[in-house]
Structure 1
Amino acid sequence: GEESFHGCSSITMLELPPTLHTIKRWGFNGCSSLRSIVPQQQNEPLSLKTIEAQAFCRCYSLTNIPHFPLLERIESSVFYGCHSLTEVTLGPSIISAARDCFDNCDSLIALHCTYRTGVILPWAVTHVTLHPDTTHIHTSAFAGCDQLHSI
């Protein structure tokens, strides 16, 4: 539910069951020691479809998130302030990703987008991979990305 583990600073790893469809708003907000999010069963694909607002906001130690093949929506400030996050892959199921979902992720240097409807970029990104059928790039999507050197 909402705010289920808000501020639980002793959590270091989160194992997601293959049946989980939604991570509720503020679910793990402020879990400052959370380092990785992994599938509970390595051979089972994750069925996560929605990550609600600020679910992982201020998870300062988060370095690793899995690829969510069915993820459709990433709401506002989901990964805000995840200073240790370096690389993210967004799949073809993405329908909606809030412009600020990666705000203040100052170590995020690689964003791989395999979806077709837009791009969300934090300022520290140095490399972007776009889906070949990309049809739209949001206004100012690359604004302030002074470190960007390859697309």
Structure 2
Amino acid sequence: MEVTNLAVHFSQTLHALNGERHRSWIGLSLGSILLFLWMMWFFMGRITHLAYSESVEVTLEAQPVWRMKEGRVTPYRQYQLDAVISKEHIEDVHEGQPAIITLSGATTLPLKPIKSYVTQVDSTQGTVSATFEVDTLLGNSIDIGFAVEVDSQSPASYLFHLTQ
């Protein structure tokens, strides 16, 4: 009687081991995929370094430009922005570099940052110029932030430079 009881326990053990083997392959596959995706991000992802303005001056350019927005013709106003960038970052700023403009202080302003490009750099004065368009007239109570993309590198190179 004990021999048949051992055979039942042995077959249940084999069945349990086969189930574990199947689960371990699923876990190993998921872990490999996650490791591969993380390594892709680590070596190919980008970390952007921004130089923020110390002060900003905005002037209204010309008459509005009329564009279609949501099926309606809307006036867009062009603004000239002059910003002061710190001396340590001004050498890294060149014409044509991406710039980010943020507007805050009124409910009618765009919620997303406005993408722009640097149009002029004066390294002796430490000033950077850019133009941007919005469909609202900017008032005096609006806070304007300006940042220039000065560097972009992968997380791997960023970590390598940190350890040097």
Bucket of the pairwise TM-score, normalised by the shorter protein: under 0.3
> Which structure has the larger Rg?
2
Structure in which a larger fraction of residues adopt strand: 2
TM-score, normalised relative to structure 2:
0.18
TM-score, normalised relative to structure 1:
0.19
Structure in which a larger fraction of residues adopt helix: 2
Q: Which has the higher contact order (CA 8 A, sep 6+)?
A: 2
